Amino acid sequence: MNEKVLMTGNEAAAEAAIRAGCRFCSAYPITPSSEFLEYMAHRLPQVEGIFIQSESEISAINMLFGASAAGKRAIVASSACGVALMQETISYLASTQLPGVIVNISRAGPGLGRITPTQADYWQMTKGGGNGDYQLVVLGPASVQEMAELTYLAFDLADKYRNPVAILADGMLGQMMEPVVLPKFRDLNSLPQKPWAVTGAKGRERNLVLVAPYTDEEMITLNEELDRKYRVLEAAEQRWEPTFLDDAELVIVAFGTAARIAGDVIERARNEGIKVGMIRPISLWPFPKDAFKNLEAHVRTYLVLEMSNGQIVDDVRLTRPGDTPVHHYGKGGGWKPTSKGVYEQILQLWRCIA
Amino acid sequence: MKTFIRPSSMSENHVPYCPGCGHGIALRLIGEAIDELNLLETVIGIAPVGCAIRAWRLFKFDFTQAPHGRSPAVATGLKRTLPENTVFCYQGDGDSAAIGLGELMHAALRCENFTVFMNNNAVYGATGGQLAPTTLIDQPTVSYPSGRDPNVIGYPIKMTEIIASVSKKAYIARVALNSVRNIREAKKAVLKAFKTQQRRLGFSFVEMLSACPTGWNMKPLDALKWMEEKMIPEYPLGEYAVTEGLE
């Protein structure tokens, strides 16, 4: 067991969802996420699960709303503009505290854009998108292995906190193939109990899933309750991967595909005596603020590498202690950094501080 | 002697609707049918944005609300994962025929095994009486005060006829909640819709013509008269499809 298999990121996420006990997927075709839908279409019936190709992304996320209200583990997958169509109901999921997993294999925007990889949906996923004060938990995988692992984890986080959880990847991670060790199948009987689910009021008080609290006071109370939950999440669920942070003077901040590219360059720069390190946020929300603690003693500059015009860089500026300079290297619209380009950026900054 | 009592599936909460409104009648019929078919422990109701959003207050069983127009998609997720339960949507005409037209049409097209009750009162009630897709020609609304002009905003939508044209395994009926006779007929349709679902025969859809005296700017009795004279001729009553094996 635990043998390595070769899969795309879309397939690995879909298979991991099934192994996590997910038996419901609704989705609408969109490149570069469609392989997720196709995998679920043939795989879910094999495990007595339900797959529905919906008439729109709006309908897909509302089908998830129904399956989740029924107490089932459910997932939707889409991309960028397709996820934009889901935002209304994602806000409703947050307000009703229904779990659910949303996979965004993003593509270049704004608008319909192109199917090229991008990280320009960082704000879309981490800063709302729907209305009201709410937060998604957002996980940013950087390999096919993590597409599987983080999707698997997403279901546990969603159930534990009764909150929707998003996987934010891109067309590169969704469509490239890598060896992956898949997680174990969860026993469906071992999944968390959901005494709040609407399943028919037999032998108990009735359950309600309300998107509209009945009084103004109840609406404020709900917001206070959500805020408390988000603070707990911020304290307990930050995830990041540190690289050479013990003595780094130049720290790259990058997630997902950008971090993969930076990782290769860091090895080479270290061999040349450049004291560079990296913070790779894995939880994009909650943003891994703790990763920046106690770095001010030796870090002299930050380099944020991202495939957008500048989104996660805002969180780095808000988070890093003191006034250490924060530089941005990135561009939206499907631009991908090269190893050479990243190396040159490192070299340039190193010359300034060394 | 028969005593007129509250159905056991209904709560004692205040009915949160205006005087003369048809929602109370429609929801009571649903409650009576749930009692008669003994569905209290298995039924799950869904009501979305609009005056319908308060429907959960009147019942005692499991209930979920839904985003505006999206109940048939939510019901699809619920019913497919809980096929043993009875699932119904209670939607207004703006909810089902405007913003949620796609979700309703595709649930009907897939012949999803749940029930949709569409309360058609020819206006947006909750937001103050704006034009709905169902508003009659020349009917004044707060958004088109000189009346619906088909050259400007089109003709009234016939949801029952449309659903009957796409849903090939379905019970489909239009009823009116304006007279004792029509309300008794409506009750029969509600029962048949639930039975269609219980026997897994396909989709079920009942359009309920209903008064909105507040939105129509009429006294309740005038509203019932207007329904008889104007609304029912535009929206003919009757069964438009009966599932095979129901009777």
pLDDT in tens, B29-73: 999 999 999 999 999 999 999 999 999 999 999 999 999 999 999
Q: Is B41 on the interface with A (CB under 8 A)?
A: yes
Q: Is position B13 within any domain?
A: no
**Nearest-10 crossing angle of helices B101-109, B159-166:** 40
CB contact at 8 A, A255 and A119: yes
Rounded distance, CA B131 to CA A333, Å? Answer: 42
DSSP assignment of A127-146, as one string? S-SSSSS---EEE---SHHH
Q: Is position B11 within any domain?
A: no
Rounded distance, CA A339 to CA A260, Å? Answer: 10
DSSP assignment of A318-353, as one string? HHSSTT--EEEEE--TT----HHHHHHHHHHHHHHH
Q: Is position B217 within any domain?
A: yes
Q: How far A53 CA sits from the closest chain B CA (Å)?
A: 11
CB contact at 8 A, A19 and A184: yes
Q: For B114-131, what is the mean pLDDT?
A: 97
The pTM score is 0.97
Closest residue by Cα to residue B119 from B189, B5, B207: B207
Rounded distance, CA B224 to CA B231, Å? Answer: 10
A269 three-state secondary structure: helix
Query: Cβ–Cβ contacts within 10 Å for residue B135, how many?
Result: 28
Closest residue by Cα to residue B194 from B125, B117, B105, B107: B117
- Cα Rg, chain A, nearest whole Å: 21
Query: Cβ–Cβ contacts within 10 Å for residue A353, how many?
Result: 12
Helix residue spans in A115-246 (DSSP H): 122-126, 144-161, 171-175, 216-236
Structure tokens, B142: 């707060």
The b/e string for B144-173 (b: 16+ C-beta within 10 A; e otherwise) is beeebeeeeeeebbbbbebbbeebebbbbb
Look at residue B247 in the predicted model and tell me its pLDDT.
77
Q: How far B2 CA sits from the closest chain A CA (Å)?
A: 29
Domain holding B50, by residue range, is: 23-241
CB spacing of B81 vs A24 below 8 angstroms: yes
CB spacing of A67 vs B106 below 8 angstroms: no
Q: Is position B101 within any domain?
A: yes
Q: Is position B49 within any domain?
A: yes
Q: Is position B212 within any domain?
A: yes
Q: How far B10 CA sits from the closest chain A CA (Å)?
A: 12
The b/e string for A70-98 (b: 16+ C-beta within 10 A; e otherwise) is bbbbbbbbbbbbbbbbbbbbbbbbbbbbb
Q: B61 contacts in A (CB within 8 Å)?
A: 200-201, 206
Q: A207 contacts in B (CB within 8 Å)?
A: 62-63
CB spacing of B78 vs A198 below 8 angstroms: yes
Q: Is position B218 within any domain?
A: yes
Q: What is the pLDDT along chain A (354 residues), one digit of tens a residue?
A: 578 999 999 999 999 999 999 999 999 999 999 999 999 999 999 999 999 999 999 999 999 999 999 999 999 999 999 999 999 999 999 999 999 999 999 999 999 999 999 999 999 999 988 999 999 999 999 999 999 999 999 999 999 999 999 999 999 999 999 999 999 999 999 999 999 999 999 999 999 999 988 899 999 999 999 999 999 999 999 999 999 999 999 999 999 999 999 999 999 999 999 999 999 999 999 999 999 999 999 999 999 999 999 999 999 999 999 999 999 999 999 999 999 999 999 999 999 997
The beta-carbon neighbor of A24 closest among B57, B60, B77 is B77
CB contact at 8 A, B35 and B59: no
B164 three-state secondary structure: helix
Sign of dihedral through CA atoms A40, A42, A43, A44? positive
Q: How far A186 CA sits from the closest chain B CA (Å)?
A: 19
Q: Is A59 on the interface with B (CB under 8 A)?
A: yes
Best mutation target among A65, A90, A131 (most B Cβ atoms within 10 Å) is A65
Rounded distance, CA A20 to CA A42, Å? Answer: 17
Best mutation target among A52, A63, A64, A205 (most B Cβ atoms within 10 Å) is A63
Instruction: From residue A107, give the alpha-carbon distance in Å to each of A30, A37, A217.
Output: 10, 16, 41
Residues 6+ apart with CB under 8 A from B141: B123, B129, B130, B131, B132, B135, B148, B215
List the 4-23 stretch of A: residues with Cβ below 8 A of B: 23
Rounded distance, CA B117 to CA B102, Å? Answer: 16
List the 174-203 stretch of A: residues with Cβ below 8 A of B: 198-203
Instruction: Name the strands in the sheet holding B115-120, side by side, starting at the edge strand that comes first in the sequence.
Output: A208-209, B62-66, B43-48, B86-92, B115-120, B203-209, B170-176, B238-241
Q: How far B147 CA sits from the closest chain A CA (Å)?
A: 32
CB spacing of A59 vs B81 below 8 angstroms: no
Q: Is B104 on the interface with A (CB under 8 A)?
A: no
Q: Is A210 on the interface with B (CB under 8 A)?
A: yes
Look at residue A1 in the predicted model and tell me its pLDDT.
54
A247 three-state secondary structure: coil
Q: Is B166 on the interface with A (CB under 8 A)?
A: no
The beta-carbon neighbor of A212 closest among B63, B65, B77 is B65
Q: Is B184 on the interface with A (CB under 8 A)?
A: no
Q: B56 contacts in A (CB within 8 Å)?
A: 208, 210
Rounded distance, CA B49 to CA B73, Å? Answer: 14
pLDDT in tens, B185-205: 999 999 999 999 999 999 999
CB spacing of A200 vs B61 below 8 angstroms: yes
Rounded distance, CA A22 to CA A105, Å? Answer: 19
Q: A188 contacts in B (CB within 8 Å)?
A: none
* Domains: count for chain B: 1
Q: How far B50 CA sits from the closest chain A CA (Å)?
A: 11
Closest residue by Cα to residue A149 from A44, A13, A21, A271: A13
Q: Per DSSP, what are the bridge partners of residue A78?
A: A104
CB spacing of A70 vs B75 below 8 angstroms: no
Rounded distance, CA A275 to CA A273, Å? Answer: 6
Rounded distance, CA A91 to CA A102, Å? Answer: 12
- What phi and psi values does residue A263 have, to the nearest 5 degrees? -55, -45
Look at residue A280 in the predicted model and tell me its pLDDT.
98
Q: Domains, chain A, ranges and CATH?
A: 4-187+210-236 (3.40.50.970), 241-353 (3.40.50.920)
CATH assignment at residue B102: 3.40.50.970
CB spacing of B44 vs A200 below 8 angstroms: yes
Q: B64 contacts in A (CB within 8 Å)?
A: 66, 69, 96, 198, 208-210
Rounded distance, CA B125 to CA B95, Å? Answer: 11
Which amino acid is present at B159? M
Whether B211 shows a pLDDT value over 70: the answer reads: yes
Q: Is position B58 within any domain?
A: yes
Q: How far B161 CA sits from the closest chain A CA (Å)?
A: 21
Structure tokens, A258: 């950008």
Rounded distance, CA A17 to CA B229, Å? Answer: 57
